Amino acid sequence: MKLLRFGPPGEERPGLLDRDGVMRDLSSVVGDIAGAALSPSGLARIAGIDTSHLPLVPADARLGPPVAGVGKFIGIGLNYSDHARESGMAEPKEPIVFMKAVSCIGGPDDDVIVPRGSTRLDWEVELGVVIGSRAQYVAPEAALGHVAGYVLVNDVSERAFQLDRGGLWDKGKGCDSFGPIGPWLVTRDELPDPQALDLWLDVNGRRMQSGSTRDMIFGVAELVSYVSQFMTLLPGDVIATGTPAGVGMGRQPPQYLRPGDEIRLGIGGLGEQRQIVVTAGAARQP
Protein backbone atom coordinates (compact mmCIF):
# COMPACT_ATOMS: atom_id res chain seq x y z
CA MET A 1 0.00 0.00 0.00
CA LYS A 2 0.90 3.62 -0.47
CA LEU A 3 -0.40 5.62 2.49
CA LEU A 4 -0.48 9.40 2.56
CA ARG A 5 -1.81 12.40 4.47
CA PHE A 6 -3.34 15.50 2.91
CA GLY A 7 -4.52 18.93 3.96
CA PRO A 8 -3.12 22.10 5.53
CA PRO A 9 -0.21 21.79 7.99
CA GLY A 10 -1.47 20.51 11.33
CA GLU A 11 -4.84 19.53 9.85
CA GLU A 12 -3.80 16.60 7.66
CA ARG A 13 -6.18 13.70 7.09
CA PRO A 14 -5.24 10.10 6.27
CA GLY A 15 -5.45 8.74 2.76
CA LEU A 16 -4.02 6.22 0.37
CA LEU A 17 -3.08 5.89 -3.27
CA ASP A 18 -5.21 3.13 -4.76
CA ARG A 19 -4.16 0.62 -7.42
CA ASP A 20 -5.21 3.02 -10.16
CA GLY A 21 -3.08 5.84 -8.77
CA VAL A 22 -6.09 7.69 -7.37
CA MET A 23 -5.87 9.34 -3.94
CA ARG A 24 -8.62 8.24 -1.54
CA ASP A 25 -9.69 9.68 1.81
CA LEU A 26 -9.22 7.19 4.69
CA SER A 27 -10.78 9.38 7.38
CA SER A 28 -13.76 7.05 7.78
CA VAL A 29 -11.44 4.11 8.39
CA VAL A 30 -8.60 5.34 10.61
CA GLY A 31 -8.02 8.44 12.69
CA ASP A 32 -4.56 8.97 11.21
CA ILE A 33 -1.51 7.18 9.83
CA ALA A 34 0.02 6.75 13.27
CA GLY A 35 0.31 4.45 16.26
CA ALA A 36 -1.79 1.29 16.03
CA ALA A 37 -2.60 1.94 12.38
CA LEU A 38 1.06 1.20 11.59
CA SER A 39 1.06 -2.18 13.34
CA PRO A 40 0.82 -5.38 11.27
CA SER A 41 -2.84 -5.78 12.25
CA GLY A 42 -3.59 -2.11 11.60
CA LEU A 43 -2.04 -2.24 8.14
CA ALA A 44 -3.83 -5.51 7.37
CA ARG A 45 -7.15 -3.88 8.29
CA ILE A 46 -6.52 -1.01 5.89
CA ALA A 47 -5.36 -3.39 3.16
CA GLY A 48 -8.65 -5.30 3.40
CA ILE A 49 -10.82 -2.29 2.63
CA ASP A 50 -12.68 -1.91 -0.64
CA THR A 51 -11.23 1.48 -1.56
CA SER A 52 -13.54 2.05 -4.54
CA HIS A 53 -16.19 3.49 -2.21
CA LEU A 54 -13.87 5.90 -0.39
CA PRO A 55 -14.11 9.63 -1.18
CA LEU A 56 -11.59 11.12 -3.59
CA VAL A 57 -8.90 13.45 -2.35
CA PRO A 58 -8.96 16.78 -4.24
CA ALA A 59 -6.31 16.73 -6.95
CA ASP A 60 -4.87 20.04 -5.74
CA ALA A 61 -4.66 19.02 -2.08
CA ARG A 62 -1.37 19.60 -0.31
CA LEU A 63 0.39 16.39 0.71
CA GLY A 64 1.74 16.38 4.24
CA PRO A 65 4.21 13.98 5.81
CA PRO A 66 2.68 10.51 5.35
CA VAL A 67 3.15 9.50 8.99
CA ALA A 68 1.78 11.36 12.02
CA GLY A 69 2.82 11.37 15.65
CA VAL A 70 6.52 10.88 14.96
CA GLY A 71 8.12 10.57 18.37
CA LYS A 72 11.72 10.23 17.20
CA PHE A 73 13.31 11.35 13.94
CA ILE A 74 16.67 9.60 13.92
CA GLY A 75 19.48 10.26 11.43
CA ILE A 76 22.36 8.03 10.43
CA GLY A 77 25.55 9.77 9.34
CA LEU A 78 28.19 8.76 6.78
CA ASN A 79 26.43 5.54 5.84
CA TYR A 80 27.77 5.46 2.27
CA SER A 81 31.52 5.09 1.71
CA ASP A 82 31.55 7.61 -1.16
CA HIS A 83 29.82 10.23 1.00
CA ALA A 84 32.29 9.67 3.85
CA ARG A 85 35.15 10.22 1.40
CA GLU A 86 33.70 13.40 -0.08
CA SER A 87 33.15 14.71 3.48
CA GLY A 88 36.79 14.07 4.35
CA MET A 89 35.79 11.73 7.17
CA ALA A 90 36.71 8.15 7.99
CA GLU A 91 34.24 5.38 7.20
CA PRO A 92 32.50 4.62 10.52
CA LYS A 93 33.06 1.35 12.34
CA GLU A 94 29.61 1.62 13.92
CA PRO A 95 26.58 3.64 12.77
CA ILE A 96 26.74 7.34 13.57
CA VAL A 97 23.42 8.28 15.19
CA PHE A 98 22.01 11.79 15.57
CA MET A 99 18.54 13.28 16.08
CA LYS A 100 16.52 15.58 13.87
CA ALA A 101 13.90 17.64 15.71
CA VAL A 102 10.39 16.42 14.96
CA SER A 103 9.41 20.08 14.49
CA CYS A 104 11.44 20.08 11.26
CA ILE A 105 9.14 17.55 9.57
CA GLY A 106 7.15 18.78 6.60
CA GLY A 107 5.39 17.62 3.48
CA PRO A 108 7.23 16.48 0.37
CA ASP A 109 6.65 19.69 -1.58
CA ASP A 110 6.73 22.27 1.22
CA ASP A 111 9.28 25.07 0.94
CA VAL A 112 12.74 24.71 2.48
CA ILE A 113 13.34 27.76 4.66
CA VAL A 114 16.82 29.27 4.99
CA PRO A 115 17.37 29.65 8.76
CA ARG A 116 18.68 32.87 10.24
CA GLY A 117 22.49 33.00 10.00
CA SER A 118 22.71 30.19 7.46
CA THR A 119 25.69 30.18 5.07
CA ARG A 120 26.03 26.54 3.97
CA LEU A 121 22.60 25.04 3.32
CA ASP A 122 22.84 21.53 1.86
CA TRP A 123 20.72 18.65 0.52
CA GLU A 124 20.68 14.88 1.21
CA VAL A 125 18.37 12.33 -0.42
CA GLU A 126 17.75 9.42 1.94
CA LEU A 127 15.68 6.29 2.47
CA GLY A 128 13.52 6.66 5.56
CA VAL A 129 12.37 3.67 7.64
CA VAL A 130 9.06 3.94 9.53
CA ILE A 131 8.71 1.74 12.62
CA GLY A 132 5.45 -0.17 12.94
CA SER A 133 5.82 -2.08 16.20
CA ARG A 134 7.81 -1.61 19.41
CA ALA A 135 11.46 -2.60 18.97
CA GLN A 136 13.86 -3.00 21.89
CA TYR A 137 17.11 -5.01 21.74
CA VAL A 138 16.05 -6.49 18.41
CA ALA A 139 18.30 -8.94 16.57
CA PRO A 140 19.18 -8.04 12.94
CA GLU A 141 17.35 -11.09 11.59
CA ALA A 142 14.12 -9.94 13.31
CA ALA A 143 14.51 -6.21 12.67
CA LEU A 144 12.53 -5.87 9.42
CA GLY A 145 9.52 -7.41 11.16
CA HIS A 146 9.27 -4.17 13.15
CA VAL A 147 9.18 -1.98 10.03
CA ALA A 148 5.84 -0.64 8.79
CA GLY A 149 7.26 0.75 5.57
CA TYR A 150 9.54 3.21 3.86
CA VAL A 151 9.50 6.90 2.91
CA LEU A 152 11.56 9.35 0.89
CA VAL A 153 13.42 11.89 3.07
CA ASN A 154 15.39 15.03 2.27
CA ASP A 155 17.77 15.38 5.21
CA VAL A 156 18.28 19.13 4.73
CA SER A 157 21.41 20.25 6.59
CA GLU A 158 23.12 23.51 7.52
CA ARG A 159 26.81 22.57 7.47
CA ALA A 160 28.15 25.56 9.40
CA PHE A 161 25.68 24.87 12.22
CA GLN A 162 26.42 21.14 12.04
CA LEU A 163 30.22 21.17 11.90
CA ASP A 164 31.55 24.56 13.00
CA ARG A 165 29.43 25.47 16.01
CA GLY A 166 30.64 22.85 18.51
CA GLY A 167 28.83 19.95 20.12
CA LEU A 168 26.69 17.47 18.21
CA TRP A 169 25.39 17.53 14.63
CA ASP A 170 21.81 18.14 15.76
CA LYS A 171 22.04 21.95 15.47
CA GLY A 172 22.51 21.70 11.72
CA LYS A 173 19.83 19.07 11.21
CA GLY A 174 16.67 20.18 12.98
CA CYS A 175 15.81 23.69 11.76
CA ASP A 176 12.25 24.31 10.61
CA SER A 177 11.56 22.68 7.20
CA PHE A 178 14.69 20.49 7.35
CA GLY A 179 12.72 17.21 7.20
CA PRO A 180 10.53 16.85 4.10
CA ILE A 181 9.00 13.35 4.17
CA GLY A 182 6.84 11.61 1.57
CA PRO A 183 4.87 11.71 -0.66
CA TRP A 184 3.85 8.25 0.52
CA LEU A 185 4.57 5.66 3.15
CA VAL A 186 5.06 2.49 1.11
CA THR A 187 4.38 -0.59 3.20
CA ARG A 188 7.06 -3.22 3.60
CA ASP A 189 5.25 -5.85 1.54
CA GLU A 190 5.61 -3.65 -1.56
CA LEU A 191 9.36 -3.18 -1.06
CA PRO A 192 10.66 -6.52 0.24
CA ASP A 193 14.32 -5.59 -0.38
CA PRO A 194 15.20 -2.13 0.92
CA GLN A 195 18.79 -2.66 -0.24
CA ALA A 196 17.87 -2.53 -3.93
CA LEU A 197 16.53 1.01 -4.34
CA ASP A 198 17.92 3.78 -6.56
CA LEU A 199 18.18 7.33 -5.17
CA TRP A 200 18.64 10.63 -7.01
CA LEU A 201 18.52 14.38 -6.36
CA ASP A 202 18.61 17.39 -8.72
CA VAL A 203 19.18 21.07 -7.96
CA ASN A 204 17.88 23.48 -10.58
CA GLY A 205 17.61 20.62 -13.05
CA ARG A 206 21.20 19.40 -12.59
CA ARG A 207 21.75 15.90 -11.27
CA MET A 208 23.73 16.12 -8.00
CA GLN A 209 23.20 12.72 -6.36
CA SER A 210 22.73 9.31 -7.92
CA GLY A 211 23.16 6.18 -5.85
CA SER A 212 21.68 2.93 -4.58
CA THR A 213 20.80 1.63 -1.15
CA ARG A 214 22.83 -1.48 -1.99
CA ASP A 215 25.89 0.67 -1.26
CA MET A 216 24.97 1.38 2.37
CA ILE A 217 27.69 0.52 4.87
CA PHE A 218 25.03 -0.57 7.36
CA GLY A 219 21.81 -1.95 5.88
CA VAL A 220 18.29 -1.28 7.09
CA ALA A 221 17.99 -4.42 9.24
CA GLU A 222 21.33 -3.72 10.90
CA LEU A 223 20.38 -0.09 11.56
CA VAL A 224 17.02 -0.92 13.15
CA SER A 225 18.72 -3.53 15.33
CA TYR A 226 21.58 -1.21 16.25
CA VAL A 227 19.44 1.78 17.20
CA SER A 228 17.13 -0.48 19.25
CA GLN A 229 20.07 -1.32 21.51
CA PHE A 230 20.19 2.30 22.70
CA MET A 231 16.56 3.45 22.61
CA THR A 232 13.20 1.76 22.30
CA LEU A 233 11.73 2.35 18.87
CA LEU A 234 7.99 2.97 18.81
CA PRO A 235 5.36 3.01 16.05
CA GLY A 236 5.79 6.11 13.93
CA ASP A 237 9.48 6.65 14.69
CA VAL A 238 11.48 7.42 11.54
CA ILE A 239 15.09 6.51 10.79
CA ALA A 240 16.78 8.37 7.90
CA THR A 241 19.44 5.93 6.74
CA GLY A 242 22.12 8.17 5.23
CA THR A 243 22.93 9.70 1.85
CA PRO A 244 25.19 8.82 -1.08
CA ALA A 245 27.85 11.12 -2.53
CA GLY A 246 26.96 14.34 -4.30
CA VAL A 247 26.03 16.73 -1.50
CA GLY A 248 26.93 20.38 -1.85
CA MET A 249 29.65 20.20 0.82
CA GLY A 250 31.50 17.54 -1.16
CA ARG A 251 31.57 19.31 -4.51
CA GLN A 252 34.63 21.12 -5.84
CA PRO A 253 34.15 23.94 -5.20
CA PRO A 254 31.41 23.47 -2.59
CA GLN A 255 27.92 24.46 -3.74
CA TYR A 256 25.16 25.40 -1.34
CA LEU A 257 21.47 26.20 -1.66
CA ARG A 258 20.22 29.76 -2.15
CA PRO A 259 16.74 31.31 -2.15
CA GLY A 260 14.96 30.49 -5.38
CA ASP A 261 16.71 27.15 -5.93
CA GLU A 262 14.57 24.16 -6.82
CA ILE A 263 15.29 20.73 -5.32
CA ARG A 264 13.85 17.56 -6.84
CA LEU A 265 14.55 14.11 -5.46
CA GLY A 266 13.24 10.59 -5.60
CA ILE A 267 13.69 6.92 -4.75
CA GLY A 268 12.44 4.10 -6.94
CA GLY A 269 9.02 2.98 -5.70
CA LEU A 270 8.76 5.76 -3.11
CA GLY A 271 7.81 8.72 -5.28
CA GLU A 272 9.34 12.15 -5.71
CA GLN A 273 9.61 15.46 -3.86
CA ARG A 274 9.97 19.06 -5.04
CA GLN A 275 10.98 21.97 -2.82
CA ILE A 276 11.73 25.64 -3.40
CA VAL A 277 14.30 27.32 -1.14
CA VAL A 278 12.95 30.52 0.43
CA THR A 279 13.99 33.04 3.04
CA ALA A 280 12.29 33.05 6.42
CA GLY A 281 8.92 34.77 6.14
CA ALA A 282 8.63 34.06 2.42
CA ALA A 283 7.38 30.46 2.59
CA ARG A 284 4.28 29.70 0.56
CA GLN A 285 1.14 29.13 2.55
CA PRO A 286 -0.21 25.67 1.58
Per-residue pLDDT tens over the stretch 143-184: 999 999 999 999 999 999 998 887 778 999 999 999 999 999
User: Closest Cα to residue 122, out of 29, 31, 245, 40?
Assistant: 245
The model's confidence at residue 30, banded by pLDDT at 50, 70 and 90, is very high
Q: How many Cα atoms within 13 Å fall on the side-chain side of residue 95?
A: 24
Residues forming a β-bridge with 278: 113
- pLDDT score recorded for residue 285: 56
- Per-residue pLDDT tens for 81-100? 888 888 787 889 999 999 99
Non-local (6+) Cβ contacts of 29 within 8 A are 14, 45, 46, 49, 54
Strands 198-203 and 206-212: antiparallel
Domain at 68-279, CATH homologous superfamily: Fumarylacetoacetase-like, C-terminal domain (3.90.850.10)
Query: What does the domain layout of the chain look like in residue ranges?
Result: 68-279
Give φ, ψ of 232 to 5 degrees.
-75, 125
Per-residue buried b or exposed e for 59-96, using 16+ beta carbons within 10 Å of the residue's own CB = eebbbbbbbbebebbbbbbbbbeebbebbeeeebeebb
- pLDDT score recorded for residue 82: 80
CA distance 146 to 40: 9
Average pLDDT of the chain, as a whole number: 95
What is the rounded (10 degree) CA torsion for 15, 2, 210, 131?
A: 90
User: In this structure, what DSSP letter does residue 62 have?
Assistant: P
Lowest mean pLDDT among 3-7, 41-45, 49-53, 97-101: 49-53
User: In this structure, what DSSP letter does residue 135 have?
Assistant: B
- pLDDT score recorded for residue 88: 82
Helix (H) or strand (E) holding 19: none
Non-local (6+) Cβ contacts of 32 within 8 A are 5, 12, 13, 14, 68, 69
Check whether the bond before 286 is cis (ω within 30° of 0): no
CA distance 131 to 149: 7
User: Closest Cα to residue 218, out of 189, 194, 183?
Assistant: 194
CA-based diameter of the chain, in Å? Answer: 55
